[in-house]
Amino acid sequence: TLPPTTKVVMIAEHHIPKNMFDLIEKRLSAIGWMAAFTPAKPTLRSEFGTSGGTMVLIRKHCEANMFRGKNSHKTKGSHGKGASWTAAILRFKGVSIAFISLYLISGQGLNLDNLEILAEIRAFIKFWQIPFIIGGDFNFPPADLSDSGFVVEISGEIPQVKTPHGD
């Protein structure tokens, strides 16, 4: 259970298929949340295996706009790789902030599909011109993201996260 002061939750790689989202949305709504989401993609690993999926949850009493990346449902053949992004713009005390959850394809680095998702996010950020937080699973080292020019293009920065192991 989250404290009532929690206004936003960003989730990456939730593995929830599209056919479950009506039920998930109803349950979230019943406990005070609204959701923007992209479903996980089916994989060939098992009958019910999935990859990826993103979600941003916002408390229902908050003023927010929800978005989903246009290429988030692109698939290659019948089984996609799960790359996607979702965003919500939340208004806090007169200031709008974009919360962006993303999942990029694992093991591919900055391939064409991952670059396409980053281009959509770049366009989203440039269009809205408001503060933003991007969270999720990039599936490659932060240095690769910096070297790509993406961070500079969005006027962003990558925070240095300390783990218990000092990594």
pLDDT digit string (tens) for the chain, length 167 residues: 788 899 999 999 888 888 888 999 999 999 999 998 888 887 776 666 678 889 999 999 998 988 876 544 443 433 345 678 899 999 988 899 999 999 998 888 898 888 989 999 999 999 999 999 999 999 999 999 999 999 999 999 998 777 666 55
Asked whether 35 and 28 are in contact (CB, 8 A), the reply is: yes
Given the structure tokens 């783990």, which residue do they identify? 163
Q: Phi-psi category of 118—alpha, beta or left, where left has phi over 0 and alpha has psi -120 to 50?
A: alpha
Q: How far apart, in whole angstroms, are the C-alpha atoms of residue 10 and residue 57? A: 6
Write the pLDDT tens digit of every residue in 52-101. Answer: 889 999 999 998 988 876 544 443 433 345 678 899 999 988 899 999 99
| Burial class, 108, CB count within 10 angstroms (exposed 0-12 / middle 13-18 / buried 19+) | middle
For residue 16, the model assigns a pLDDT of: 87
